[in-house]
Structure 1
Amino acid sequence: MDRKAGTIFLVFLLAALLVLSGCTEKEGTGEQDENREFQDSEGDENVNIRDIRVFSDAFEPKGIIPKKYTCNGENVNPSLGFEGIPEEAKSLVLIMDDPDAPMGTFTHWVIWDIEPVAGIEEDSIPGVEGMNDFRKIGYGGPCPPSGTHRYFFRVYALDKKLEIKAGAGRKDVENAMIGHILAEGELVGKYGKA
């Protein structure tokens, strides 16, 4: 009886391990999945999020960001264009970050309550700006300590204005966005010090 019970226990243990390993493989491993976790905390509210195409006339997708837009240049934001913003959108949020920073993802720009337009201009403040990880309000361009880093410009179309006070942090903005995202998109650029 003990031997039979032990065999049944081992069978159940193996089955449980197989189920767990299958679940682990299905979890997202891309950058997009990591950075969308704040949206998923409300369940399935954001299942129908549409896509926004984000582009720039300053650099190609996954291309090199010109020095002008970095801490080694004029340190101004590049122009960005958007396609696919839903007609019902009331505002846009833009978050720029560097997931390759030595201490973890580094936020370079958080800006919200942007009018739902087709783009933003170079060296502009199209909305309300928050605190970046340089501990400054506004845009802080790419400034990697070494190597080449990736910089994500993420745009979110919302069904409302956030009306958060200037200087708020990224987490405050992300929390306010939960359940209100209609569409999103991203543009990735690279920069490394010569």
Structure 2
Amino acid sequence: MNLQRTPAPHPIDHLPAAPAELTVTSDDFTDGGPLPRSAGFGFGNTSPQLSWSGAPEGTRSYLLVCHDPDAPVIGGFTHWAVLGIPAGTTSLAADAGAFGTNLGEGTTTLTNDYGTRDFGGAAPPEGDGPHRYVFTVWALDTDNTGLDASTSVAKAQFATLGNVLARGTLTGTYEL
């Protein structure tokens, strides 16, 4: 019997098309490359530096989500989600996901799958092979979604679908 794990499809493949594409980059890793060791759970839980560009006119805020589709649970594992990033913000410094970090007025860090409101470091099971950590940034035409910190990440994504002007992803990998 072959127990080889087949990687889950890329999460972006299941989302409705966005009208435009954002370019998402990082000073800490390249698309498809390894995340810094400090991004690991127990090794610093440090969110990587992220930048994005190409937001269309009318962008009023951003939604950021970091998700591991390769986690050994149904639906993957969300490591970080921030709603209401101001339109004038086009980058986040490394460790911007630290608990209690102020990411701008109106910004709300949602509860990740660890049950905390911060960046929860990468933590693939040892020997499971590399996992993908997909950082997705959505440009939204609203800065008042009516959602608060008690909102689940899935509900925030669903509730803002009609507000998406552009979207982009950057994927890093991590392995123990």
Q: Report the CA distance between 1:163 and its aligned residue.
A: 3.9
Which residue type is aligned with residue 121 of structure 1?
A: A
Paired residues of 2:81 and 2:111 also in contact (CA < 8 A): yes
Per-residue CA distance 1:164-186 (angstroms, 9 max, x = gap): 21242112201220210000000
Aligned with 2:95: secondary structure?
coil
Pair 1:163–1:77, CA change in 2 (3 A):
farther
Note if contact 1:137-1:167 (Cα within 8 Å) is conserved in structure 2.
no
Letter in 1 for 2:85: I
1:33-72 equivalent positions in 2, closer than 5 A: 33-34=13-14, 36=15, 40=16, 49-72=19-42
Aligned pair 1:156/2:156, yes or no?
no
Paired with 1:154 and 1:132, the residues of 2 have a C-alpha distance of 15
State which of 106, 109, 112 in structure 1 corresponds to 2:80: 109
> In 2, Cα distance between the equivalents of 1:166 and 1:30?
27
Which residue of the partner structure matches residue 22 of structure 1?
none
Higher helix share: 1
Give the match for residue 168 of structure 1. Answer: 151
Provide the rounded CA distance (Å) in 1 between the counterparts of 2:10 and 2:94: 29
Given the two structures, how large is their TM-score scaled by the length of structure 1? 0.75
Structure 2 portions without partners, runs of 5+:
1-8
1:118 corresponds to which of 77, 81, 90: 90
Q: Could you tell which deviates more after superposition, 123-132 or 87-96?
A: 123-132
Shift of residue 148, structure 1, vs aligned partner = 1.1
Show structure 1 runs of 5+ residues with no match.
1-28, 41-46
Q: Tell me the number of residue pairs that the alignment of Structure 1 and Structure 2 aligns.
A: 155
Q: Give the match's secondary structure for 1:184.
A: strand
Q: Secondary structure at the match of 1:160?
A: coil
Contact 2:68 2:132 in 1 (8 A): yes
Cα pair 2:49 2:92 within 8 Å, conserved: yes
Q: Is the 8 A contact 2:10 2:69 kept in 1?
A: no
What percent identity do the matched residue pairs reach? 32
Distance 2:141 2:119 in 1: 25
TM superposition score normalised by structure 2: 0.82
CA RMSD of aligned residues (A): 1.6
